[in-house]
Structure formats: C-alpha cells, structure tokens
Amino acid sequence: MDKTLIIFDWDGTLMDSIGLIVESMHIAGEAHGFQTTDQAVKGIIGLSLLTGIDILYPAANSVQKLAIEKSYSEYYIAKSHRTPFFSPIETMLQDLQNAGKQLAVATGKKRRGLDRVLAASNSERYFEVTRCADESGSKPHPQMLSDILAHTQQCIANAVFIGDSIYDIQMANKLGMTSIAVNYGTASGDELADEQPSYQVDTPQELVSLLCG
C-alpha cells in the first residue's frame, strides 16, 4: 500500500467495541421504555449517537432521546475498560508511523468520547489529526475526510480510508477516496461488498498485511 495518509474509523475497525456499544444501547433504551435488536444497533454504528438514536427509537420524543443519549454515555464510559484494540492493531500503528505514514481517525464518536478512549489506550501519539461527528457532521457525509485532507495538505489520491460500516465506505466513495472495508466489525462482508470498497479484508491480520506488506 503506497498511500501516505491512512485514515481509520475507530469502533469496530481499530477497537473491539461493538459488543459494548450494543449492550449500552439496550441498557439505555430499556431504561426509558424502548426496545430494539442487536442487528438494529449494529446497523447504526458509525453514525453520530443522536442520529442513531433517532433511527432506533423513532417513537421517542426529543426529551426521551436526549435521556437515552445520556444513559448510553454513562453506561459506556463505566464499562469502556472492556474495549481493547484488535490484535495486532497497535503494532501495526507503530510500524506505519515508523514508515513515515501520516495516520488519522474519522469517527462517529463525539470529541469528548474519542479523547477519552485515546487517552485510555495511550494512542494519541499515533494520530496526526482526528475528526468526530460533532465537529464535521455524521457519516456518510464526507466533511470529516475533507477536513483531514486539508489539515495534512494531502490529496485524495494519496489517502485511504478504512472502516467496518457501510457508512464508512459510502463516505469514502463520495470523495472518490480509496477504501478498505474490514469484515470483522459491524457489517457483514456481503453488505460491505455491495458498497464497492476498493479492498476488503476478513481479519485484522489481513489488514496489517495489506497496509504494511
């Protein structure tokens, strides 16, 4: 992979957090009288939290949706020690940085949430720039990718975006950016293939082989 700017999604791509996201959403919704399914929650991962809650609980009013958001955040934060990097992701980040690649993150998390997990995982040092949904809009709108390109002064041809949701691949496609879909996160391999990513891998190990050679 000859790209000089490598942009990652966070949840389900770098960090093994899908199970906790699903659990947290069930806890939060049920605390306020609403129910959903595991598959439905997985289907909104990658979007901003409030956008996802709008989709999952359309019958909730605005006050209830904000209460669900608060309950979700409180539960997720309390349990977030359970979300490690996929193995061997951290070694890959070190190798890419040592090879002179610029690394970035584009995530549906809020800034406060991303800063918290970056600090907890001691991984801030790997990323030159990060963008969140409350700064650049929810995926699949490509603004966060455009912001990262502007910050790094890189052109689209030199960049690749890596993600595990259909919204990730849709976002990259809107800019004509090379994309890698990872099948070990939110969406199935078939769902991701339908979005026509540039590359597709089944495991973190395959991602490492593609990026690092």
- 83: confidence class by pLDDT, cuts 50, 70, 90: confident
Cβ burial 155-168 (10 Å sphere, 16+ → b, else e): eeebbbbbbbbbbb
- 45: confidence class by pLDDT, cuts 50, 70, 90: very high
How far is residue 44's CA from residue 167's CA, in Å, rounded to a whole number? 9
> pLDDT value at position 68?
98
Distance from first CA to last CA of the chain, Å, rounded? 7
Quick check: 1 pLDDT over 80? no
How confident is the prediction for the chain on average, in pLDDT? Answer: 95
Tokens of 101: 């690649």
How far is residue 24's CA from residue 78's CA, in Å, rounded to a whole number? 10
> pLDDT value at position 81?
80
Quick check: 55 pLDDT over 90? yes
Q: Which tens digit of pLDDT belongs to each residue from 22-44?
A: 999 999 999 999 999 999 999 99
> pLDDT value at position 5?
98
Q: Which tens digit of pLDDT belongs to each residue from 85-118?
A: 998 999 999 999 999 999 999 999 999 999 999 9
Q: Which tens digit of pLDDT belongs to each residue from 143-181?
A: 999 999 999 999 999 999 999 999 999 999 999 999 999
Q: Which residue has the higher pLDDT, 80 or 187?
A: 187
Tokens of 7: 């942009």
Greatest Cα pair distance in the chain: 51
